[in-house]
Amino acid sequence: MRRSLIFAVTGTLLASCGASQEVAEATNIVARWSTCDKSAGGSTNNTVLEKSAWADNKLVIDVKDNDYCGGTVVSNLGYAVDGNNLNIRWAWTPKQSPGGAPAPLTACKCDHVLRFELSNIPRREFNIGLLRSR
């Protein structure tokens, strides 16, 4: 019951932030994100761990991050486990236009809600580190 509730709450949070939800995948990790509100003052380095929980044999981690409102996607996904430490890494990179050139970036910054789903890791409590790069 609790597992279903976690996914329901997280899914509702993602859906409430934007009309569309984007997805990126790598080995044993999936990232889903939606764009929320424009940031007051356009601050850039706001990356915050919101919560984490085990659900359906996956570690689900919710993060609020700040980046351009449009023109970027999550890429370079990965994670590393070292004892009780788990570091998630990702980057915001420009989308590719149909011709292969980078898409233009918006001038505004927005908060994005990201949900990382990690599978195939030992089930225990972790100290979670967020390694976002640009």
pLDDT at residue 121 tops 90: yes
76, exposed or middle or buried, with CB in 10 Å at 0-12, 13-18, 19+? middle
SS3 of 51, please?
A: strand
Q: What percent of the chain has pLDDT over 70?
A: 78
CA distances from 96 to 70, 72, 103, 114 (A): 12, 9, 5, 21
pLDDT at residue 130 tops 70: yes
Q: Are strands 48-55 and 58-68 parallel, antiparallel or unpaired?
A: antiparallel
pLDDT at 88: 97
For residue 33, the cross-strand partners are: 22, 114
> C-alpha 77: how far from its chain's center?
9
Question: How many folded domains does the chain comprise?
Answer: 1
> C-alpha 26: how far from its chain's center?
13
CB 38 within 8 A of CB 25: no
SS3 of 2, please?
A: helix
9-61 confidence digits (pLDDT tens): 444 444 446 556 899 999 999 999 987 766 544 455 689 999 999 999 999 99
pLDDT at 10: 43
Distance CA 75, CA 90 (A): 6
Which residue segment(s) compose the domain that 50 sits in?
2-133
For residue 64, the cross-strand partners are: 48, 113
pLDDT at 18: 56
pLDDT at 39: 59
pLDDT at residue 83 tops 90: yes
93-113 confidence digits (pLDDT tens): 998 888 888 888 888 888 889
